[in-house]
């Protein structure tokens, strides 16, 4: 005899999107503006150095001061450029991790409540990443890969992995999907420094596109699903 198990998801979607959109809003309104442009910050630091000679009191010859100030200002330029890049990277990573953990929590909650022992045994005590989430939803006759925003979500997944781990399978797969991220990195680039240096070609428009994709993805997800199993 077939039994039907239902799955209702209502406020969870709306609450999650509020979190995602607030994350993006705070980045655009505040975090992005913690520093001015690298050039502006370098010039401001030059002014500061001229007014505060104790910062380079180690210089013996006064004639060397201008070149030392230029060197320190350039160092500040690089530091600011990289920290602004890392803030952007961090938000891209956060977007994907929030999405995966949100879906994982929904799946985990349903696994704990299911009456079907086969489902419970199949998924219980497993790390729930995207592939398993996709597989679980298929039990309820919904293919996440058919969601019209899935390809962008998968791109986000790959980019997040590349930011964290640099070269590897995700890097090769992402190059095939969207090579624009690698305009600064040749295929033979030997260094794994996608966080140490601003090597990936990303900007706030990429962040916005991923936020939009997550919104579309979640809004397209079903709020009611059914699963039939043998008693």
Average pLDDT, the chain: 92
Tokens of 94: 């956060």
* Contact of 142 with 222, CB cutoff 8 Å: yes
Each residue of 58-96: pLDDT tens digit? 999 999 999 999 999 999 999 999 999 999 999 999 999
User: What is the predicted pLDDT for the residue at 36?
Assistant: 96
pLDDT at 37 over 80: yes
Counted domains in the chain:
1
The stretch 189-218 carries a mean pLDDT of 92
User: What is the predicted pLDDT for the residue at 230?
Assistant: 78
pLDDT at 190 over 80: no
Domain assignment present for residue 74? The answer is yes
In this structure, the number of other CB atoms found within 10 A of the CB of residue 207 comes to: 21
Q: What is the pTM of this model?
A: 0.91
Domain assignment present for residue 4? The answer is no
Domain assignment present for residue 135? The answer is yes
Q: For 21, what's the count of Cα atoms within 13 Å in the CB-facing half-sphere?
A: 10
Distance CA 179, CA 162 (A): 12
Report phi then psi at 30, rounded to 5.
-125, -60
Higher pLDDT, 22 or 5: 22
Report phi then psi at 230, rounded to 5.
-80, 135
pLDDT at 12 over 70: yes
User: What is the predicted pLDDT for the residue at 17?
Assistant: 98
Give Cβ neighbours of residue 160 (< 8 Å, ≥ 6 apart). 92, 93, 95, 96, 97
pLDDT at 101 over 90: yes
User: What is the predicted pLDDT for the residue at 112?
Assistant: 84
pLDDT at 191 over 90: no
User: What is the predicted pLDDT for the residue at 24?
Assistant: 98
Domain assignment present for residue 119? The answer is yes
* Contact of 24 with 213, CB cutoff 8 Å: no
CA 143-144-150 angle, to 5 degrees, is 140
The stretch 127-143 carries a mean pLDDT of 92
pLDDT at 206 over 90: yes
Domain around 94: 13-223
**Left if phi > 0, otherwise alpha if psi is -120 to 50, otherwise beta: which for 177?**
alpha
Domain assignment present for residue 51? The answer is yes
Domain assignment present for residue 1? The answer is no
Long-range Cβ contacts of 129-137 (<8 Å, 24+ apart): 129/100, 129/104, 130/100, 130/103, 130/157, 132/107, 133/100, 133/103, 133/104, 133/107, 136/107, 136/110, 136/111, 137/107, 137/225
Domain assignment present for residue 191? The answer is yes
pLDDT at 115 over 80: no
Tokens of 229: 């199993």
């Amino acid at each position: 005899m077939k039994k039907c198990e239902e799955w209702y998801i209502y406020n969870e979607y709306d609450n999650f999107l509020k979190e995602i959109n607030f994350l993006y809003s705070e980045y655009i309104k505040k975090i992005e503006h913690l520093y001015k442009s690298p050039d502006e910050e370098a010039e401001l630091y030059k002014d500061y150095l001229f007014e505060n000679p104790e910062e380079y009191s180690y210089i013996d010859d006064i004639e060397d001061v201008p070149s030392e100030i230029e060197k320190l200002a350039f160092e500040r330029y690089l530091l600011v450029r990289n920290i602004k890049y890392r803030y952007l990277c961090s938000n891209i990573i956060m977007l994907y991790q929030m999405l995966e953990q949100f879906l994982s929590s929904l799946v985990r909650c349903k696994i704990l409540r299911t009456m079907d022992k086969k489902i419970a045994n199949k998924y219980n005590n497993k790390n729930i990443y995207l592939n398993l989430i996709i597989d679980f939803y298929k039990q309820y006759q919904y293919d996440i890969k058919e969601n019209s925003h899935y390809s962008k979500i998968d791109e986000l997944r790959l980019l997040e992995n590349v930011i964290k781990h640099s070269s590897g399978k995700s890097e090769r797969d992402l190059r095939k999907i969207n090579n624009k991220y690698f305009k600064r990195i040749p295929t033979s680039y030997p260094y794994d420094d996608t966080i140490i240096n601003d090597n990936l070609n990303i900007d706030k428009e990429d962040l916005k596109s991923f936020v939009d994709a997550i919104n579309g993805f979640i809004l397209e997800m079903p709020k009611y699903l059914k699963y039939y199993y043998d008693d």
